[in-house]
Structure 1
Amino acid sequence: MHLETPKKLRPLIHQARQVAENVFRPISRKYDRAEHAYPVELDMLAAIMDGMNHAAAESGQGQSAGAGQLKQQRRNHEGVHNGANMTTVLGLQELCWGDVGLALTLPRQGLGNAAIAAVANDEQLQRFGHCWAAMAITEPGAGSDSAAIRTTAQRDGDDYIINGEKIYVTSGERADAVVVWASVDRSLGRAAIKSFVVEKGTPGMDVVRLEKKLGIKASDTAAITFTDCRVPASNLLGSAEVNVDQGFAGVMQTFDNTRPVVAAMAVGVARAALDRCREILANYGIQADYKQPLKTSHSVVTQLYRYEADWEAARLLTLKAAWMADNGQPNSKEASMAKAKAGRAANAITLGCVELLGSVGYSEDELLEKWARDSKILDIFEGTQQIQQLIVARRLLGKTSAELK
């Protein structure tokens, strides 16, 4: 693994930075204040990105949007390469330097797309590879413990009938489809949990409310109920067979894709805070001098050094997890390490920069206070900090989920 940015991905990174700086930043505060208002400015941007994705697919380069493209890359490439996982991570770091909420609400860039990419078959990729897919896992009684899911999917001929409630579904109202986690037989425990693609407008699927949140207010977060919601059996992602020995490793594979993505978001917003903090401090005559010994540096500067070290560790862990996924290496432990480190670092860095700058950082005149609010969710969704540490411990100690809770 080489740590310099791949040459073929540099144009994408540059384009993502331009979007972050010239599209996201100017409207960031507007949609933070107008929660649940749809950012119409993103429609034109989505069309441009679709064109970029189409061109990238034809040239064989990675891109972040299409699940079908991500799957196809894995099949076509041999040897060491940087594919869609690395592309997504590097692009999202830049976009979230602009605004995390807006990055989350980009059409056809949903977390459900990663679920489709992870386990969909060829026919499903053809149908769902270019839709905008949200992901519905969390329930009122099942948050970080995904095995506690109570939503059911009962087989009925060529269909499944889904009943249950999902909360905190990112892009749940705006997306074209929702990837729903449900149990096909609750008596068999976690092994019976499967994921289903439920398309928008399916009878029995209802968005009952939009949540008001601390941060990422540009992104809609929905509560959805499923009442005798009938979906074709062909919409089940992965195998329909319930393998008690395997558990629900198939659906959990989704997280190996999405956790580095969330880590990349955290890396992006943390860098935004660091960059702006340095700029403001420079205006007050406080600048880092990396040649000067730490013990003789300004106390504010020494704290910045610590934040920079945390940020760099998070960035490298994120790149490693994405690189492993692109190269077909099991990355469950590394995905959780990246998510745990980046989520915690982003929280500490964004809040720390607000504190270092005092009233300047706390005021709405700067986006620093918004970044501090936005960063919190990145340590929660796709598995909380505590869950990530538990997963890493299980992998390191060779324990099962039953042995180490």
Structure 2
Amino acid sequence: MINLENPKKFRALVNQAHQVATSVFRPVSRKYDRSEHDYPVELDMLASIMDGMNDGTPGVGAGAGKLKQETGPKREGVQNGTNMSTVLSLAELCWGDVGLSLTLPRQGLGNAAIAAVADDEQFARFGHKWAAMAITEPGFGSDSAAVRTTAVRDGDEYIINGEKIYVTSGERADCVVVWASVDRSLGRAAIKSFIVEKGTPGMEVVRLEKKLGIKASDTAAITFTDCRIPASNLLGDPEVNVEKGFAGVMQTFDNTRPVVAAMAIGVAKASIDRTRELLKKLKVKTDYRTPYKLASQLEAKLYRYEAEWEAARLLTLKAAWMADNGMPNSKEASMSKAKAGRTANEITLGCVEMLGMLGYGEDEMLEKWSRDSKILDIFEGTQQIQQLIVARRLLGKSSAELK
């Protein structure tokens, strides 16, 4: 049975993450929001410290990395491992700043993809590199099965051709996990993920996108033109299994969706905390002993936000806990992402509305958090896609049967 309290062994890590959010992220948050595409140099030393934390405490990740489930003989009892530690610590970091959390060196979404499907040799080569994730293309967004980028086998190499857009940390990362098809005639079953290292001939960052939020994080468009990589850079099984279909490469999302949900939890909590502080200064008291129906409109709205936030948090912890204990969590991962993304959007924008001009101006971080939260309901699968996945799992229908 899942315990709803944070595991004791992670409390120090969570406290450290909160200190980073307070002392490192918050002081420079507005600076890099105004200076989009400037690299946050303050994070370099922090990344080294977090590497040391990871190396010194095996199985306890400090960021969005090392999310691989346990291998070898099954251990007795309930496990709380890297999935749980990651969502707990990342929620605290995003309480400080989502964009800075996304641009933390060696803690990218591509690292979670590598951890999900890399073999021991690949993890030894790429586990400590900063990895971005390249899925979306100009011709599609949410339908990941519509990948047009190709990877053609040529001896001991693959030749990659195509274009990827909206690649988080695409310019800064050491390597990019690229989704490509090895045989487009076989459909989604032929989609594989490949690691392309920065500087590989044929790979080019063609532009950086200007965005609504998370401006501290670079978002790149990348082209691949006859880009050759070693065949050993293919993640997972090189054979195309039509019966298994898309399941192998989609395993990545079972790891990354709770991670994105944790980000949403963090920024939503930041908005609730700050709104409560400002309402107190305005002499609007919150008294939890007062029945909901007798509370003021502002109080009632804040109470509802807190309840929605708690529901999103528990769904996220459940998805992470299931992964740590070797349980299939595709449905729960999508549920957590859908709930947390939507809840964060509602809470952050609602807090701006509750406080009027006080929340709308740049003197407060609330307006920034409302902009930052929007992407958390979009990337790693939109709200609509998550609802489709959950419906398919609940009804036992395939994607062809339930579109």
What interval of TM-score do these two structures reach, taking the shorter chain for normalisation?
over 0.9
Q: Note the C-alpha offset of 1:201.
A: 0.4
Deviations 1:315-350 (A, max 9, x none): 000000000011100000000000000000000000
Paired with 1:217 and 1:263, the residues of 2 have a C-alpha distance of 19
Q: CA 1:294 to 1:312, structure 2 compared with 1: closer, same or farther past 3 Å?
A: same
Equivalent positions of 1:96-111 (< 5 A) are: 96-111=94-109
Deviations 1:148-193 (A, max 9, x none): 0100000100100000000000000000000000000000000000
**What's the counterpart of residue 71 of structure 1?**
68
* Contact 1:66-1:130 within 8 A present in 2 as well: no
User: Secondary structure of 2:343's partner?
Assistant: helix
Deviations 1:355-379 (A, max 9, x none): 0000000000000000000000000
Q: Note the C-alpha offset of 1:66.
A: 8.1
Paired with 1:71 and 1:146, the residues of 2 have a C-alpha distance of 22
Paired with 2:327 and 2:242, the residues of 1 have a C-alpha distance of 24
Q: Note the C-alpha offset of 1:71.
A: 3.3
Q: Note the C-alpha offset of 1:393.
A: 0.3
Report the TM-score, using the length of structure 1 for normalisation: 0.97
Q: 1:83 aligns with which of 62, 81, 84?
A: 81
Q: Note the C-alpha offset of 1:73.
A: 4.4
Equivalent positions of 1:334-345 (< 5 A) are: 334-345=332-343
Tell whether 2:281 aligns with 1:283.
yes
The letter of the residue matching 2:32 is Y
Q: 2:60 aligns with which of 59, 62, 66?
A: 62
User: Secondary structure of 2:84's partner?
Assistant: helix
**What's the counterpart of residue 321 of structure 1?**
319
* Contact 2:81-2:324 within 8 A present in 1 as well: yes
* Contact 2:91-2:266 within 8 A present in 1 as well: yes
User: Secondary structure of 2:161's partner?
Assistant: strand
**What's the counterpart of residue 30 of structure 2?**
29
Paired with 2:300 and 2:169, the residues of 1 have a C-alpha distance of 40
User: Secondary structure of 2:308's partner?
Assistant: helix
Paired with 1:167 and 1:42, the residues of 2 have a C-alpha distance of 25
User: Secondary structure of 1:91's partner?
Assistant: helix
Equivalent positions of 1:203-352 (< 5 A) are: 203-352=201-350
Paired with 1:66 and 1:28, the residues of 2 have a C-alpha distance of 20
* Contact 1:195-1:237 within 8 A present in 2 as well: yes
Tell whether 2:14 aligns with 1:13.
yes
Paired with 1:215 and 1:99, the residues of 2 have a C-alpha distance of 11
**What's the counterpart of residue 5 of structure 2?**
4
RMSD: 1.1
Paired with 2:101 and 2:167, the residues of 1 have a C-alpha distance of 15
Tell whether 2:94 aligns with 1:124.
no
Paired with 2:400 and 2:341, the residues of 1 have a C-alpha distance of 26
The letter of the residue matching 1:56 is T
**What's the counterpart of residue 48 of structure 1?**
49
The letter of the residue matching 1:10 is R
The letter of the residue matching 2:6 is T
Q: 1:145 aligns with which of 122, 143, 162?
A: 143
Q: Note the C-alpha offset of 1:215.
A: 0.1
Paired with 1:294 and 1:403, the residues of 2 have a C-alpha distance of 43
* Contact 2:67-2:255 within 8 A present in 1 as well: no
Paired with 1:77 and 1:122, the residues of 2 have a C-alpha distance of 18
* Contact 1:62-1:70 within 8 A present in 2 as well: no
The letter of the residue matching 1:184 is V
Paired with 1:381 and 1:193, the residues of 2 have a C-alpha distance of 19
Q: Note the C-alpha offset of 1:64.
A: 3.6
Paired with 1:332 and 1:74, the residues of 2 have a C-alpha distance of 19
The letter of the residue matching 1:52 is M
* Contact 1:273-1:368 within 8 A present in 2 as well: yes
Q: Note the C-alpha offset of 1:65.
A: 4.8
* Contact 2:90-2:101 within 8 A present in 1 as well: yes
User: Secondary structure of 2:95's partner?
Assistant: helix
User: Secondary structure of 1:244's partner?
Assistant: coil
Report the TM-score, using the length of structure 2 for normalisation: 0.98
The letter of the residue matching 1:309 is A
* Contact 1:168-1:222 within 8 A present in 2 as well: yes
Structure 1 unaligned residues grouped into runs of 5+: none
User: Secondary structure of 1:300's partner?
Assistant: helix
Q: Note the C-alpha offset of 1:294.
A: 1.5
